[in-house]
Amino acid sequence: MTSSYWQELMCRLDTKVEQMVEQIGDKCPHFAGKDGKFDDIGSDWWTTGFWPGLLWIMHDMTRKDLYKEAAWYWDGTLEEWFIKPTVEMHHDVGFQFLPTGVIKHTITGDEDALRRGIEAANFLAASYNPVGKFIRAWNEDKYGWVIIDCMLNISLLFWASKVSGDPRYKHIAISHAETTMQYGIREDGSTKHILSFDAETGAYIENFGGQGYSAESSWSRGTAWGLYSFINTYRHSGDERFLNTAKRIAHYFISALPEDQVPYWDFRLADDERMFKDTLRHLSPLQVC
């Protein structure tokens, strides 16, 4: 990547994100509708860390206070949900606090951000079922449900072990990854979305389709998440079983791509069902500086 290309790319990103800061303001965005305007959802939603995470990355790359100021309060806002009795917190505290408290502490050294990140890691670790050796995704009647998404959330536990010196977080993350590897990854490298276990005995029961087309189909985004997370687990553990699992997933992903290399939302769809890609290919051009 040439220096001029990188400068132009950063200039375009800077222009775009500054416009987004002005447009979004103090909203809690999930996505932009057909009119191009962002929505405003509850701050307990699983994607609420993504926007502030983008702001922290832009601050880290540009050093602009604009992005730092817009991102600063988010980990405090999310922390409030830990003490609200009406909300159901879940495994996506990783998605919420990795891009907020964790990155904030990493960049600035802020002690409150460190405390909040550890608080979120404690919550995730408390969802671990030691009999079944898994982190449950949700509560109430789903105490035994595990989903591929959580493999990304365990990065929070690896971080907590590193900053605290306590290996228990890492042990829980690795144990969960082993269970997902055993029951959630098929021999051909495709991934299952939802796994169901008996919460009392830990026995594996069945898997559900979830976001995929069916129980035995292959949700493409879940496949990508499995690929990244098993590489990440290998990076933190050094255990080559996880690296080999990631390779198997990668081989499957590449072999399942259509001719244009853009995956459908599920890799196992009949030809007449391939209406939707799992990405937006045509974006409006960004203003050039």
Active-site residue identified among 44, 149, 239, 278: 149
How many Cβ atoms sit within 10 Å of the Cβ of residue 179?
20
92 is catalytic: yes
Say whether pLDDT at 281 is over 60: no
Q: What are the Cα distances from residue 220, in Å, to 95, 121, 135, 226, 234?
A: 19, 28, 22, 10, 21
Average pLDDT over residues 141-153: 92
pLDDT in tens, 194-205: 999 999 999 999
Tokens (6 digits) for 77: 């806002």
Residue 232 has pLDDT above 60, yes or no: yes
Q: State the average pLDDT for the chain.
A: 91
CATH for 128-289 is 1.50.10.10
Which residue in 76, 32, 31, 71 sits closest to 53, CA to CA? 71
Active-site residue identified among 14, 92, 188, 266: 92
Task: Enumerate the domain spans of the chain.
Answer: 1-126, 128-289
- Give 81-112 as a DSSP string: GGG-TT----TTHHHHHIIIIIHHHHHH--HH
CA dist., res. 99 & res. 156, Å (int)? 10
Coil vs helix vs strand at 78? helix
pLDDT at residue 222 greater than cutoff 70: yes
Query: pLDDT: is 277 or 183 the higher one?
Result: 183
**Would you place residue 85 in the very low, low, confident or very high pLDDT band (cuts 50, 70, 90)?**
low
pLDDT above 70 (res 1) = no
Find all residues with CB under 8 Å of 220, minimum gap 6, and list them.
253, 256, 263, 264, 265, 266, 267, 278
Q: Residue 149 catalytic?
A: yes
Q: How much is the pTM?
A: 0.91
What's the chain's length in residues?
Answer: 289
CA distance 134 to 168: 14
Residue 286 has pLDDT above 50, yes or no: no
More confident residue, 123 or 274: 123
CA distance 280 to 110: 36
